[in-house]
């Protein structure tokens, strides 16, 4: 006897309705999506800064609400590297914690714009990124014009360039990732360079992690200075919240100063000051708890000099291991020799050095009049060069040694 299996739609079987058409996700025009997303990012950043400024105004006993709003808008502009002139001094040092927050918002906004517009053609993606950055930059220009009042002055050109630049970088990355163009670009990139990028990122994160630990240890050692500064300021509850927010925004700057310290050239916290492994000459500092980790004037411990050599080499070794691991997963990995892996390690070190130079250059600026007119890393290029050399040596040697010790393939067993 033959069993007859019934199937949907067959005579005598369970009939099922044919699937209905899938509803298409509604999309907005490219320009509309870009304008809405850029406006949302602009309002998010301004409201965040203004809220902190208003909280500080509530704790103060002078000034008005309009001044607090201008202060918040000025902080938003400074975070985009737009210098703000206040009386005889200029504030151009960007709190990188706030800058990173705005970059993350712009990245998410770029993804949202690409998703809502459904753009996938090259011309549409270019238009979307251009309008997105242009609208955000135009907003920065308008904020600069509205913020200027009396002694407070902001260059509209620097505001437009600073805001537009950040929107171009972060927003375009978000657009490319959401649209899938980033994956296409990665597939079209040569394997050597494609493997060097994550290796460079790992090297950068390794050095930053060591600098963060060093800064945390020094801050814990000098914790008595922190409590003394807080007692001296006597900011109250609301004032302490604002002070904590300010310190939190400046933590990435201090970590990058620690990176330059590990590189050797060091950094400065005022005109004529030096904080380096070879010695410290800084004098009196502002009563900011974040600066309690700065060593006292004089010579520095010997172990810090050792770290200046070990940290770049260790970061390079991490990059070399990642290069070999990713390279061995390629289709034609057997054709690569140890010299190819060493070259990729060197490329990763160069990319990491460029990233460090950009970050260290962005971390400095002017923090006010007088001796605080010069804060940051004046020797950013030599510091990045020292780090690049150390990472290149560590990456090339590690990649070459690990690749040369490739396990031999098992020999086939003789036939019986």
Q: Would you say the C-alpha torsion 5, 6, 8, 10 has a positive or negative sign?
A: positive
Please tell me which residue, 321 or 232, carries the higher pLDDT value. Answer: 321
Quick one: pLDDT at residue 2?
A: 40
Quick one: pLDDT at residue 63?
A: 58
- Check whether 211 has a pLDDT greater than 80: yes
Dihedrals φ, ψ of 276, to 5°? -145, 165
β-partners of residue 85 are 90, 153
**pLDDT tens profile 190-206:** 887 888 999 999 999 99
The pLDDT of 58-69, averaged and rounded, is 69
Distance between CA 207 and CA 201 in Å, rounded? 10
The pLDDT of 229-236, averaged and rounded, is 77
Range with the poorest average pLDDT among 15-19, 53-57, 130-134, 138-142: 15-19
Quick one: pLDDT at residue 155?
A: 86
**pLDDT tens profile 294-314:** 887 777 777 778 888 899 999
Report yes or no: 305 and 189 within 8 Å, Cβ to Cβ. no
Q: Would you say the C-alpha torsion 263, 265, 269, 274 has a positive or negative sign?
A: positive
Please tell me which residue, 68 or 267, carries the higher pLDDT value. Answer: 267
Distance between CA 21 and CA 38 in Å, rounded? 34
Quick one: pLDDT at residue 1?
A: 37
- Check whether 403 has a pLDDT greater than 50: yes
Residue with tokens 């490219």: 30
Taking the CB of residue 223, how many other CB atoms lie within 10 A of it?
13
Distance between CA 6 and CA 186 in Å, rounded? 49
Dihedrals φ, ψ of 130, to 5°? -65, -45
- Check whether 56 has a pLDDT greater than 60: yes
**pLDDT tens profile 374-383:** 888 988 999 9
Rg (CA), the chain: 27
Quick one: pLDDT at residue 35?
A: 94
Report yes or no: 366 and 90 within 8 Å, Cβ to Cβ. yes
**pLDDT tens profile 246-263:** 888 999 999 999 999 989
Is 85 in a helix, a strand, or coil? strand
Quick one: pLDDT at residue 416?
A: 46
**pLDDT tens profile 317-341:** 999 999 888 877 765 656 567 778 8
Range with the poorest average pLDDT among 100-109, 148-157, 235-244, 396-405: 235-244
Please tell me which residue, 288 or 141, carries the higher pLDDT value. Answer: 141
Quick one: pLDDT at residue 13?
A: 44
Encoded tokens for 161:
């360039």
The band of 23, judged by pLDDT with boundaries at 50, 70 and 90, is: very low
Quick one: pLDDT at residue 19?
A: 47
**pLDDT tens profile 214-229:** 999 988 888 888 888 8
State the DSSP string of 128-163: HHHHHHHHHHHHHHHHHHHH-BTTEEE-HHHHHHHH
Distance between CA 173 and CA 131 in Å, rounded? 14
How distant, in Å, are the alpha carbons of 28, 184, 294, 307, 342 from that of 217? 51, 43, 11, 14, 35
Percent of the chain at pLDDT above 70? Answer: 88
The band of 21, judged by pLDDT with boundaries at 50, 70 and 90, is: very low
The pLDDT of 263-279, averaged and rounded, is 86
- Check whether 412 has a pLDDT greater than 80: no
**pLDDT tens profile 350-396:** 999 999 999 999 998 888 787 888 888 988 999 999 999 999 999 99
Q: Would you say the C-alpha torsion 385, 215, 234, 100 has a positive or negative sign?
A: positive
Quick one: pLDDT at residue 152?
A: 80
Encoded tokens for 99:
């800058």
Quick one: pLDDT at residue 186?
A: 86
Taking the CB of residue 253, how many other CB atoms lie within 10 A of it?
26
Average pLDDT, the chain: 83
Closest CA to 35 of 113, 119, 106: 113
Cα–Cα–Cα angle for 355, 359, 362, nearest 5°? 145
- Check whether 270 has a pLDDT greater than 50: yes
**pLDDT tens profile 81-132:** 988 888 777 888 999 999 999 999 999 999 999 999 888 888 999 999 999 9
């Amino acid at each position: 006897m033959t069993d007859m299996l019934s199937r949907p739609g067959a005579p005598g079987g369970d009939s099922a309705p044919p699937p209905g058409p899938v509803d298409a996700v509604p999309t907005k025009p490219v320009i509309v999506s870009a304008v809405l997303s850029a406006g949302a990012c602009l309002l998010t950043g301004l409201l965040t800064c203004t809220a902190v400024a208003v909280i500080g105004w509530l704790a103060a006993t002078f000034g008005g609400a309009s001044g607090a709003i201008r202060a918040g808008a000025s902080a938003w502009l400074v975070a985009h590297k737009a210098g703000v002139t206040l009386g005889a001094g200029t504030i151009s040092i960007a709190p990188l914690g706030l800058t990173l927050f705005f970059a993350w918002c712009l990245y998410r906004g770029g993804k949202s714009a690409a998703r809502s517009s459904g753009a996938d053609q090259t011309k549409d993606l270019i238009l979307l990124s251009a309008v997105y950055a242009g609208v955000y930059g135009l907003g920065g220009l308008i904020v600069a014009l509205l913020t200027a009042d009396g002694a407070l002055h902001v260059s509209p050109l620097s505001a437009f360039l600073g805001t537009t630049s950040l929107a171009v970088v972060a927003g375009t990355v978000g657009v490319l990732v959401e649209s899938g163009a980033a994956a296409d670009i990665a597939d079209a990139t040569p394997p050597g360079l494609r493997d060097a990028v994550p290796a460079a990122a790992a090297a950068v994160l390794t050095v930053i992690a060591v600098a963060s630990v060093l800064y945390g240890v020094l801050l814990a050692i000098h914790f008595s200075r922190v409590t003394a500064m807080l007692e001296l300021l006597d900011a109250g509850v609301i004032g302490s919240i604002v002070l904590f927010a300010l310190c939190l925004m400046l933590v990435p700057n201090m970590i990058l100063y620690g990176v330059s310290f590990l590189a050797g050239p060091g950094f400065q916290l005022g005109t004529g000051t030096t904080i380096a492994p070879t010695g410290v000459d800084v004098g009196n500092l502002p009563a900011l708890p974040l600066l309690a980790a700065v060593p006292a004037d004089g010579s520095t411990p010997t172990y810090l000099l050792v770290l200046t050599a070990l940290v770049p080499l260790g970061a390079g070794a991490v990059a070399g291991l990642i290069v070999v691991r990713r390279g061995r997963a390629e289709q034609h990995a057997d054709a690569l020799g140890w010299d190819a892996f060493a070259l990729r390690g060197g490329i990763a070190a160069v990319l990491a050095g460029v990233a460090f130079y950009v970050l260290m250059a962005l971390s400095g600026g002017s923090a006010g009049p007088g001796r605080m007119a010069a804060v940051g890393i004046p020797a950013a290029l030599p510091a990045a060069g020292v780090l690049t050399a150390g990472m290149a040596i560590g990456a090339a040697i590690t990649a070459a040694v690990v690749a040369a010790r490739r396990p031999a393939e098992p020999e086939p067993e003789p036939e019986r």
